[in-house]
Homo-oligomer: A and B are copies of this chain.
Amino acid sequence: MQRWDGYGSPWWHGRFRGCGYRITVPRRIILDVLSKTSEHLSAEDVYVAVHKIYPNVGLTTVYRTLELLVQMGLVFRFDFGDRKARYELAMGPKGMRHHHHLVCTDCGRVVDYTDFLDEEKELLSRTEVGLAEKYNFTISNHLIQFYGLCDKCRVKK
């Protein structure tokens, strides 16, 4: 599951070194947890998972590390409407993971989709270029989410 850079270190060690950040046990474990799930974990979720592996890690460190990873662009932070942040590895051993979300506004279920990405991609990059020019922004990322009712919740109503 872990990918190596060919010099005996996981892929993200270089990024850390480059920024002057230390490679610590808690950081190693948090990244490991994130790289092994395909779910949308909250800070609490990460804490629980990390805690199972190494019970000494505190919740504070989880929050701090997630924040750091978001700053570095290694992790994305999402908001699905319940008021707690969700975290996902931006890219991982499996390669690029970019996807969009389909959120059920009733039960909160989140589906990742990549299916229409090819069609979307072209328009998105054109839009990005246009927006960047018009508003003088350097665009580095985007977020697309669709909201609605999943099959189960539709029936309930």
A residues at B contact (CB < 8 Å):
77, 79, 81, 83, 85, 102, 104-105, 111, 113, 115-116, 119-120, 123, 126-128, 130-132, 134-151, 154
Contacts and interface: CB of A to CB of B under 8 A. Distances in A.
A141 B148 CA distance: 7
Contacts of A131: 102, 113, 115-116, 146
Given A113-B131, A116-B131, A120-B127, A146 B142 contact: yes
A144 B144 contact: yes
Which one of A83, A104, A143, A150 has the highest number of Cβ atoms from chain B below 10 Å of its Cβ? A143
A26 to B, nearest CB: 23
Contact of A141 (B111, B141, B147, B154): B147
A135 B83 contact: no
Given A83-B83, A116-B127, A102 B135 contact: yes
A77 B79 CA distance: 11
Contacts of A140: 105, 147-149
